[in-house]
Each structure stands twice: as structure tokens, then as C-alpha cells.
A and B are shown apart, each in its own frame.
Chain A
Amino acid sequence: MSTVAHEHDHHHAPSGLKRWIFSTNHKDIGTLYLIFSLMMFFIGGAMAMIIRAELFQPGLQFVDPQFYNSMVTVHALIMIFGAVMPAGVGLANWMIPLMIGAPDMALPRMNNMSFWILPFGFALLISTLFMNGGGPAGGWTMYPPLVLQLGDAFPFLIFTVHILGVSSIMGAINIIATVFNMRAPGMTLMKMPLFVWTWVITAFLLIASLPVFAGAVTMLLTDKYFGTSFFSAAGGGDPVLFQHIFWFFGHPEVYILALPAFGIISTIIPTFSRKPLFGYASMVYATASIAILSFFVWAHHMFTVGMPIKGELFFMYATMLISVPTGVKVFNWIATMWKGAMTFETPMLFSIAFVILFTIGGFSGLMLGITPVDFQYHDTYFVVAHFHYVLLTGAIFALMAAVYYWLPKWTGYMYDEKLGKIHFWLSTIAANVLFFPQHFLGLAGMPRRIPDYNIQFADFNMISSIGGFAYGLSQLLFVYIVIKCALGGKKAKSQAWEGAKGLEWTVPSPAPFHTFETPPKLTKAMLEH
């Protein structure tokens, strides 16, 4: 991916390491984000492999329970904040200026800073695994009073969250400032590509929810070290309050992970169906209503804490309501494919798998949203299966699709289509072998976050672990494909995909270091979706 380096006589960019450290170029920073998130994907993935190895058989084989619990906790934090979110921001950096005809992001220096504080944040987090008392092991949700029992790692965990929050908020501000002020003349809001729309809405979610989370963890910090009692019953506080504040952030957070994926899918499916996106305006409104509703459903994560019946009903109905705009989106994707001249290149395969598998995750989410049955499913493997369907076969599959789709634009070469298809099929089969049996485990009552289990769960766990190892190994193929593509291959045309629409395909492949320094003159055809 580093072949974007284009020599420009008038531009005295530092070369070598300095180019990357001091970069204010949106393409370089986008590349940094994407490489960083790929590294985090493998670190978090290695932790998942440890988890699946331990669960391969009942009994304790490889790691002690404390370490197992810290693997579960840190895997979640790394995958959410280290892999999926930075990958989304990386794509936004690379593509949004190209898509709206802007020369760069609105705030290039802040862009540099929001990337470069990330590695420090994760260095803090990963260092906790080597500390007295081990890394955070109370779950990524950090519920008190359990999380307050954490040893030396506790302040590191809190400051990690602060740093990641600052980084994401700066990224979000940058995206909104770019989209609101830097669009080429003629690119009105309702002409913007859907990927830009979903990212603007995601950025608003980030700005509205992450500061609340930062506040919650700051309260944890003062509860532990400065004698406050926000969550301590002894001092008149209430530990359940933390869950409310946390999920007030936590539910919008799941849409922060999912909405950019929706934007990616809405870009790729029309390209390979050779049809405009069905219902563009309804897609924009559906995304916005999902974002707004996401602030009114948080307590469905905590039905079992003891809420008045009216509260449980309110949060159940509000949750059900979200399936309406989500259903609109799924309908539109299918309607876009309907009677289209479809071809099945790797990005399209990942996108179709996304539509099917994300919908499965959506359905299990609906089941969890029904208050009375949630009392049975709560904290079981059913929940684990649900959120991995929406995050792995949902968000990660969409990110994979995006990388395959835009790799020709980034590197100037076509990736190896045959290997891409092999990677797709291995990933899809393995991910389903990995997570589908976990539905059954959860319904049979296997709790999450345990290193050992009753032998009645042995068979499904073994199947799940085999799928896990297969999935983990097949991602190495992905790295090989990306590196191979960066080094060479069939030259990509500026219009790399026949059916692709959008400004990014009007610039050469690889995209030059500077693009759209004078705003492009937009024709009607260029603004088609």
C-alpha cells in the first residue's frame, strides 16, 4: 500500500520515516490507519486463538482463568477500538476527500495527531498484560465494583480509553469539518456518496457518545483513587448507574462500528450490479434514524438488573423500532441487486455475504431485544454469537470488501482475483463454523467469559474452535494478497471497476499524492449514485 508515493517537484515532502511521522496528507494518514488496524486485527486475533484453544476441550489446558479473562477483555477492546474503528477512520481519510472532490481533510495537522496518539494508547493497554495482577480481566464493559479490584493495570486501562476517545473524537470532528466545508461546487448534501453520508452520521455519534464514556471511566478513576462514590453503594452511589452511563455510550458505539459498513456495502453493491442504488434518499434517512434511535435503547443491554416493567417495555419497543430502518436498508440492497447485471468479484462476494450474515446477526439481536427471553439469553454464548455475526461477518466483512474494492485505487494494481475468492470462501465458511454453533451453546445455557465448561457443551465448542483456527489462518492469506497487490500485478485503470460511480474513479490509479487541488467540474453523470 506504500506505492502511493508520487514524486512532485513542487512538494518538498520529507521522505522515509519522517514522511509517515509528520504526514498531513490524507492518503498517507489513511494508509497508516489501515496498516495499524490490520496489525491490531492480528494481535486481537491471536488473543481469540488463545481463547478458542482453551475452549477446544472442557477443563483447563493452556492458560489460567485469570489470564483467560484478560484475553477475553483485551481481545474485545483491541478489536473494537484498535481494529474496526481505526479501519473505518482510515477508509474515511482515504476516500472522503476523493469522493467529495476536496484536496485534503479540513484539519490535516489534527489528523496527524489523531492517528499518532493511537499507538501510544495501545502500548499502554498491552503493557498491562505484563503487570502485577495482570491485565484488565473484568470484561471490556468495565463494570464496577469488579473493575475496581484490578491491580496496577487499572489506571492504564482508564488512560487507554481516554487516549482512544480523544483520537476518535478528533477524527470525527475532522470528518464533519471536511464534509461540511470542503465539498466541490455542485456536490450538494443529497448528491454525496452514501459512504460519506454514513461517515458523517457516524462522526456525530462519536462526538455525542464518546465524551460520555470518557466521563464514566473518569468517575471510575476518582472512585478508586480520590474517594468519590459515584458507583459505590457504601458512599451512597449505585453500581447500576455505571451500566446506564456505559450503555448510553455503548449502544451508539455498535452503530459507530456498523454504519460505515453500511456505507461501504451501499457503494459496492451498485457497482457490481451495474444499477444505481435503490432508494438513495431512504438510505440516508434510515441511517439517520438508526443513529437517533440508538440513543434511546441502551437499557436492552441490562434488562436483568431489575428495572420497572414500564422501563423494560419502553426499551424493548424502542429496540424493535430500530429493525424498521435496518430492514429498509436490507430491502434496498436486495432491490439494488434485483435484475442487475451482476458479477461476483471478491468485494461483491464479501458484500453479499455481509447482507446475509449481518441479517442473521440482526435477527438474533431481535431475539435478545425481547425482554422476557433475554432473561434466558443474557450473558450466554447466544450473545457472543449475535455480536460476532454483526461485528465479524458484518463490520469486518464490509471492511474486507472495502479493501478489495479500493486496493486498485490505492496501489495502482489489481489484486489477485483468484486468491481473493479463495480468501472469501475460506473466511465465510470458517466464520460460520466458528460462530453458528455458539447460538446452540448459548440456548443450551453455556455462560460467556468462562475458561472451562460442562462436558455437555464439548462437541459444539470443538467445532467452533476448529472454525476459529481456520478463520485465523485464512486471514494470513489476506495479508499476502494485499502485499502482493502493493508490489505489483495487472495495472489498474483509473476506472478500476466497470460499473463504479463516483469521483474517486476519475483520478488515476494509484491516486496521486495530491488530488483535486482545484475543485473538479462536476457533470451530471459524475453525480449519479
Chain B
Amino acid sequence: MSTKQRSINKTTTILFIVTILMFGFGYAMVPLYDAFCQITGLNGKTQRVTEGAGEASPILDREVRVLFDSNVNGDLPWRLKPTVKSIKVQPGKFYDATYTVTNMANVPVVGQAIPSVSPQIASLYFKKSECFCFVNQLLEPGETKDMLVRFEVDQDLPVDVGALTLSYTFFRAKGNNS
């Protein structure tokens, strides 16, 4: 093999390796994006906490309005409604809210709720200790259920956020086709 042929083979090998690495980079963007969203609150994903761990006293002289919103994805035969439209909360204190959900179909259906908080920056300070969105929900035909979410708004919520919206969208759980 001539030296020229050898150096062509070397270049080609390196370039094929780069190609494979870039294919991998496409997949690496998935966890990178999740991490990026976690840090910046980019896609409105809420935070999960355990209640009672290092609890600070609530700020009594500040009130934040929390509005509740609900959506159902097109191929899920459910109806979803918050019990109340909004409540006023003091940062640093846990509150309960409920959503009423009904299965309109005549077969059992499993759904999964996906939360989102707007404005995005507030999602970093919205902490839930219990939520119906933590697990799949099974509803029998025609069944109606009240579902609980227990949350606090962190004391460090930026002062210019006076109100925030908690929105849930129910999807048909993946792998459930009945």
C-alpha cells in the first residue's frame, strides 16, 4: 500500500468515526435538552419535593394568585375540570387543589397528565409534593374522580410574578390502546 493510499484510508476512517459520533450527538441532545430545561424552566416543567424537608416559614405579607387550567388531548375521551378556577396562596405554604375528571367512554381508559406552568420562570419555584400526574390514572367506564395536587410556591419566587397558571393536559397513556 502506498503512503498516499494509507493517508486516504486514515482520513476516511477519521471521517467515518466523526459521522458516527455526530449521530450519537443527535441522541445526546435529548438528555442535554432535558437538563437545559430543568435549569432554565424552559418548557414549564414543575418541580417535585418531599414535604417537611427543611421547611421555612411562609411569607405572610405576600399573595400570589394561582390559576388552574385543564386540557384533554384529542384522542382521549375524558373530561377534565379544576374544582376552582384560582386560589390565592402565600409563598412557602402547602395548598391542596383538585381536578374533576370523567371517563366518557364505555371502556376503561388509562390516562397520563402532563403539567406545565406559565410564565416559564415560575415553573422553577412551583413545587409539588403530591400529584395525580405522578402516575398513570385508570378510569372505569363513566367513572368520575376528584384528583389531588398538593403544592407550594417557593419563597424565592421573583417579585414581579404576581400570578401563575398551572395547566394540565391529559393524554392517553402510552402503550394503552383500549
**Chain A interface (Cβ within 8 Å of chain B)?**
106-107, 169, 172-173, 176-177, 180-182, 207-216, 219, 227, 229-230, 232-236, 238, 240-241, 244-245, 248, 306-308, 311
Contact = CB atoms under 8 A, between A and B. Distances in A.
Contact of B27 (A209, A215, A232, A236): A215
A277 B27 CA distance: 43
A156 B144 CA distance: 43
29 contacts: A106-B8, A107-B8, A169-B19, A172-B15, A173-B12, A173-B19, A176-B11, A176-B15, A177-B15, A181-B4, A207-B15, A210-B22, A211-B22, A211-B25, A212-B26, A214-B26, A215-B27, A219-B30, A227-B174, A233-B169, A234-B73, A234-B114, A235-B112, A238-B37, A241-B29, A244-B33, A306-B120, A308-B42, A308-B120
Interface in B2-46: 4, 7-8, 11-12, 15-16, 18-20, 22-27, 29-30, 33, 37, 40, 42-43
Contact of B11 (A181, A212, A219, A232): A181
Given A181-B11, A214-B26, A306-B120, A234 B171 contact: yes
B172 interface: yes
Contacts of A227: 174-175
Contact of B171 (A219, A233, A245, A307): A233
B17 to A, nearest CB: 10
A351 B112 CA distance: 57
A169 B21 CA distance: 13
- Of B12, B172, B173, most A-chain CB atoms within 10 Å: B12
A262 B57 CA distance: 64
Contact of B16 (A106, A173, A182, A248): A173
Nearest to B171: A234
Interface of B: 4, 7-8, 11-12, 15-16, 18-20, 22-27, 29-30, 33, 37, 40, 42-43, 73, 112, 114, 120-121, 169, 171-175
Nearest to B44: A306
B8 A244 contact: no
B12 A208 contact: no
- Of B4, B20, B27, most A-chain CB atoms within 10 Å: B27
Contacts of B7: 180-181
A-side binding surface: helix, strand, loop or mixed? helix
B30 A234 contact: no
A234 B11 contact: no
B118 to A, nearest CB: 9
B102 to A, nearest CB: 19
Contacts of A233: 114, 169, 171
Nearest to A209: B22
Given A176-B15, A207-B18, A245 B26 contact: yes
A177 B12 contact: yes
Nearest to A206: B19
A244 B37 CA distance: 13
Contacts of B172: 234
A344 to B, nearest CB: 41
A182 B4 contact: yes
A308 B12 contact: no
A212 B25 contact: yes
Contacts of A308: 40, 42, 120-121
Contacts of A230: 30
B29 A245 contact: yes
Contacts of A219: 26-27, 30
Nearest to A245: B29
A366 to B, nearest CB: 26
B2 to A, nearest CB: 11
A-B interface, 4 closest residue pairs, ranked by CB to CB distance from nearest: A215-B26, A234-B171, A211-B22, A211-B23
- Of B19, B20, B29, B175, most A-chain CB atoms within 10 Å: B19
Given A211-B22, A233-B169, 13 more contacts: A106-B8, A173-B15, A207-B18, A207-B22, A211-B20, A215-B25, A216-B26, A229-B174, A233-B114, A234-B112, A241-B30, A307-B42, A308-B40
B22 A212 contact: yes
A245 B121 CA distance: 23
Nearest to B22: A211
A234 B27 CA distance: 19
A180 B11 contact: yes
A267 to B, nearest CB: 25
Contact of B8 (A181, A213, A234): A181
Contacts of A236: 114
Contacts of A234: 73, 112, 114, 171-174
Nearest to B27: A215
A173 B171 CA distance: 44
Contacts of A240: 43
A238 B33 contact: yes
A239 to B, nearest CB: 10
